[in-house]
Amino acid sequence: MEAAALGAFMVSACAFGALLWHPGSPASGLVADGAGRRALMGLAMGTTAVGIIYSPWGQQSGAHMNPSVTLTFLRLGKVRPWDAFFYVLAQFAGGLLGVLLARAALGRVLTHPAVNYVVTVPGDGGMGVAFVAEAFIAFVMMMTILVVSNSPLARWTGLCAGALVATYITFEAPLSGMSLNPARTLGSALPAMTWTALWVYFTAPPLGMLLAAQAYTTLRSARAVHCAKLHHQNTKRCIFCQDVPVLGQA
């Protein structure tokens, strides 16, 4: 389920990336402004993320879709090490398979230099700016997840995460390409053979999220984190809490 979740996200990213940036696409002529394209891409990917999080499989697995998220919940003691290992493995496999599936469907449209497998690379500010930007957006994402998911607004965690994805793509992407996710970056980098500053995307997102977890537990405690699921309030069995919550209850 985790592999399918990130795989679906990457198929969507590739499809909308091709639609908005390939010079032969009708949408690329209609929206020539880079900021406008990023806003549309952000809306598309934010909606995709929300759809996956609230899908039956997303409700079952917790919809981490990101090794940084899984490792953070491991640090908080909410995911067992063996489960975390296979979650991360599935996320990397799913990200790559999603891009390969998109390439099979889109062919040269996806490999065109204007699209280039929707790789994430640093912007004009360079690797230092990209590192800080990735760490910052990861910190805000995880802090939002922890605060919202452990409050009376827990059912809206997925919507908050999707809104942040949309915002980041619109405004932060020029700085780092907006990865937030090592598996997402590697999924595009492998078929594109583009390794620019790969270390940034493997270190900054986990660091930012782990710092958010440390800040949250300093202000409250690890016991204040109820579960590792982004959407726990559903009727799906929870592999982390070993319970079946009633819809509408924490």
- Structural domain boundaries of the chain? 2-224
What CA–CA distance (Å, rounded) separates 228 from 75? 11
| Residue range 2-224 in CATH 2.60.40.2550 | no
pLDDT in the model for residue 233: 67
Per-residue pLDDT reduced to its tens digit, 180-218: 999 999 999 999 999 999 999 999 999 999 999 999 999
Q: What CA–CA distances, in Å, run from 149 to 50, 84, 216, 225? A: 14, 20, 12, 8
Contact, 94 vs 101, CB < 8 A? no
Contact, 235 vs 244, CB < 8 A? yes
The DSSP-derived string for the chain is -HHHHHHHHHHHHHHHHHHHH-TTSHHHHH---HHHHHHHHHHHHHHHHHHHHTSHHHHHH----SHHHHHHHHHTTSS-HHHHHHHHHHHHHHHHHHHHHHHHHHTHHHHSTTTGGG-----TT-HHHHHHHHHHHHHHHHHHHHHHHTSTTGGGHHHHHHHHHHHHHHHTHHHH-----HHHHHHHHHHHT--TTHHHHHHHHHHHHHHHHHHHHHHS-GGG---S-S--SSSSPPTTT---PPTT--
pLDDT (tens place) for every residue of the chain, 250 residues total = 999 999 999 999 999 999 999 999 988 778 878 899 999 999 999 999 999 999 999 999 999 999 999 999 999 999 999 999 999 999 999 999 999 999 999 999 999 999 999 999 999 999 999 999 999 999 999 999 999 999 999 899 999 999 999 999 999 999 999 999 999 999 999 999 999 999 999 999 999 999 999 999 998 876 788 888 887 766 777 888 765 444 444 3
Contact, 248 vs 233, CB < 8 A? yes
What CA–CA distance (Å, rounded) separates 244 from 240? 11
pLDDT in the model for residue 242: 64
What CA–CA distance (Å, rounded) separates 230 from 50? 11
**b/e burial code for range 127-158 (CB count within 10 A of at least 16 → b):** eebbbbbbbbbbbbbbbbbbbbbbeeebbebb
Sorted by sequence, the CB contacts under 8 Å of residue 46 that are 6+ apart come out as: 162, 163, 164, 165, 166, 167, 169
